[in-house]
Structure 1
């Protein structure tokens, strides 16, 4: 549950005559309240990710260090942000968010926490950003706290991406699937059939206009067929790369690969996404061998 710093703000009425606050002051208080809520939510999300890291640890000391860090992140971004205070982070929280977070308890275990590649930097960043939240009360609270909350969210998302990629790498490796090889997937068959039809059409047209069936004529016909099929095959490969959790792609990267695939062959993207039917509506079409 998010512990909000809002109770530390002085309660006031909406009537300016009773409080002495004009419209601008009320707007500033509203902005500060919204920033406090946003910071607390970002801190809770970051703490939840760090708790997941703690749950992965086999060494109890490492798990405890990460659990303490998660609690410190939530506190530093929530109830420790007190408007009107000196803006200093409590000493015990500063210690908790220091090196032990990534080093764990090497003096007792002789090891370091079990963290996947790419997790350490977001973890350090999350702790460092959270530690700065209380000092925002000394400046423009709404603007600074909002900016830091955005950065904390970005660092948490980067950490979760690294976690997802690491989890995927621990699963048994799957054989890469090329278009037309997944006989159990009707959408794959639909996309393959349309690519095949384009290639076959290009081949037949090329052979039709050849004066002979020499080696050169056959090579030209094959070239035309490959040129017709290439974009669709490449588009399907890009979609499967984008959907591979082992890469840990963020939403922008995933969308970028899907856009490239659509530029190569929009029909294939639509087929694999189910936009052109379920792939089962024409059972007379032969499936690839």
Structure 2
């Protein structure tokens, strides 16, 4: 006899459903809040680290101390000042420290401005404004609002670091450009040049041979072939020189993109310039000693 579904015994799982666990929803919410609080604290620590780098660059001790106070305040308001259930208000001292006039440093006492590169001042003000807004998130949707502010603080900090890198690069001494094949150049440059020259020479001779002589047309075709063979070697060398120039202050992603293009054009030349095929001081056309 078949048991009716209406009278079938209920099946019970040994594992209680998460929604039936007393306090389960509160625990999940608590874990989410803890995660976003940790993210905010991490963003604050990173921002404070950059501000301390600015402080370390100051020639005036008063400016350095003012920026150190800003860094400490950023850590405080992105950490222990964010207390769920609090009034979300900043103490007067913190409000003063994180005010927009942070870019003036201690100018009211020593009559000069902090040493900041172009772009750093705007990033510094943005760091202070965002950090000062963190505690007020406890009055609204803490998880959503703090996630947004922490993400923006991380972006602004990165923008500040890029401005710092670019500014540092601008004050570097001008260097003469390096070209492949320069007799006093880097040995790795000479190694890469030898590879490019050998490829071009081989293409030139082959084309000249098949063109049947030294006539104007034959030489023109041979030269065309030689340039076509040399181009894929010269281009990646130029890209690497650009990518490695500190005066550009390239981001890691930009640097990697240029290196990736160079590698796709001519892997062997990239390896030569990076030292993967020897140091360029020996003739790599000869067998290496065992």
TM-score (norm 2): 0.80
The answer to whether the Cα contact below 8 Å between 1:186 and 1:278 also exists between their aligned partners in 2 is no
- Structure 1 residue 257 displacement after superposition: 1.6
Match of 1:209, SS state, is helix
Q: 1:57 to 1:281 in 2, by over 3 A?
A: closer
Task: Look up the match of 1:283.
Answer: 283
Can you list the C-alpha shifts for 1:6-60, whole angstroms capped at 9, x where unaligned? xxxxxxxxxx9xx9521x3212211211221221122112112111111212223
Match of 2:211, SS state, is coil
Distance in 1, Cα, partners of 2:58 & 2:136: 32
Match of 2:228, SS state, is helix
1:137-156 superposed matches below 5 A = 137-156=138-157
- Structure 1 residue 182 displacement after superposition: 7.8
Q: 1:283 to 1:263 in 2, by over 3 A?
A: closer
Task: Look up the match of 1:109.
Answer: 110
Query: Moved runs in structure 1, 4+ residues, more than 6 A?
Result: none
Match of 1:283, SS state, is coil
Task: Look up the match of 1:32.
Answer: 33
Task: Look up the match of 2:5.
Answer: none
1:179-218 superposed matches below 5 A = 179-181=180-182, 185-218=186-219
Q: 1:104 to 1:116 in 2, by over 3 A?
A: same
1:151-166 superposed matches below 5 A = 151-166=152-167
Task: Look up the match of 1:21.
Answer: 23
1:161-180 superposed matches below 5 A = 161-180=162-181
Distance in 1, Cα, partners of 2:284 & 2:39: 57
Distance in 1, Cα, partners of 2:145 & 2:264: 41
Q: 1:176 to 1:184 in 2, by over 3 A?
A: closer
The answer to whether the Cα contact below 8 Å between 2:100 and 2:129 also exists between their aligned partners in 1 is no
Task: Look up the match of 1:94.
Answer: 95
Task: Look up the match of 1:241.
Answer: 242
- Structure 1 residue 282 displacement after superposition: 5.9
Q: 1:121 to 1:264 in 2, by over 3 A?
A: farther
The answer to whether the Cα contact below 8 Å between 2:278 and 2:284 also exists between their aligned partners in 1 is no
Distance in 2, Cα, partners of 1:182 & 1:125: 50
Distance in 2, Cα, partners of 1:54 & 1:70: 9
Can you list the C-alpha shifts for 1:63-97, whole angstroms capped at 9, x where unaligned? 23212211111111111111111222333222212
Task: Look up the match of 1:252.
Answer: 253
The answer to whether the Cα contact below 8 Å between 1:182 and 1:188 also exists between their aligned partners in 2 is no
CA RMSD, Structure 1 to Structure 2 (Å): 2.7
The number of equivalent residue pairs is 267
